[in-house]
Amino acid sequence: MTETPNPNIIDADTLTGEMRPIRRAVLALGSNLGERMASLQGAVNAIADTPDVWVTGVSPVYETEPVESPVDAKHYLNAVVLIDTTLAATRLMDRALAIEDAFERERTEVKNAPRTLDVDLIVVGDRRNDDEFLVLPHPRAAERAFVLQPWHDLEPEAEFPELGPIAVLLEKVDRSGLSRRDDLTLEIQ
């Protein structure tokens, strides 16, 4: 692995010697094509292998029914990864996209199409962003049991920015298509 996700990008903070803040970030993983568990584990490994990223927790794995997906979509495996990072949110997004590409994620015009791997940034510290490339906090995460439940398992006291405790948000969402898979465990390298 190289020192940065893209060795052609020069990190201005490194050049100036300035300190960058450490931010807590929440990433949601999902897969419903191919070797689902291998894809999730590969994503955890790739995240852990990212310079300036420290994995602090990995949730239990959940199997979930597809949400707003094509009729023939298979069930997902989902998990949440907590990290501490000094990377800028946009660099973290670049890394998430690179990890998806490494697992042959195909992007189509079909909304919520099946995928080998999905890596979503849910929150990155208190960072707010709203452009075509990145929206933070994630605009639909507070409505998704497959994000809130695994996050709650790791941080029961966590708060979703501007919306409040994830425990309260979790009480409001439909959890009927969500089942914890204690037979499946993701490992931190």
24: annotated active-site residue: no
Query: Which residue out of 23, 36, 91, 105 is catalytically annotated?
Result: 105
118: annotated active-site residue: yes
Does residue 51 sit in helix, strand or coil?
coil
DSSP state, residue 149: H
Token duo for residue 15: 């050049």
105: annotated active-site residue: yes
Count CB neighbours of 121 within 10 A.
23
Report the candidate in 103, 23, 116 with the shortest Cα–Cα distance to residue 74.
116
Query: Which residue out of 23, 120, 127, 181 is catalytically annotated?
Result: 120
Report the candidate in 133, 105, 139 with the shortest Cα–Cα distance to residue 119.
105
From residue 182, alpha-carbon distances to 60, 63, 81, 185 in Å are 7, 10, 17, 7
How far apart CA 82 and CA 59 sit, in angstroms, is: 8
Query: Which residue out of 49, 118, 128, 181 is catalytically annotated?
Result: 118
How far apart CA 123 and CA 37 sit, in angstroms, is: 24
Query: Which residue out of 23, 91, 115, 144 is catalytically annotated?
Result: 115
Report the catalytic residues: 105, 115, 118, 120
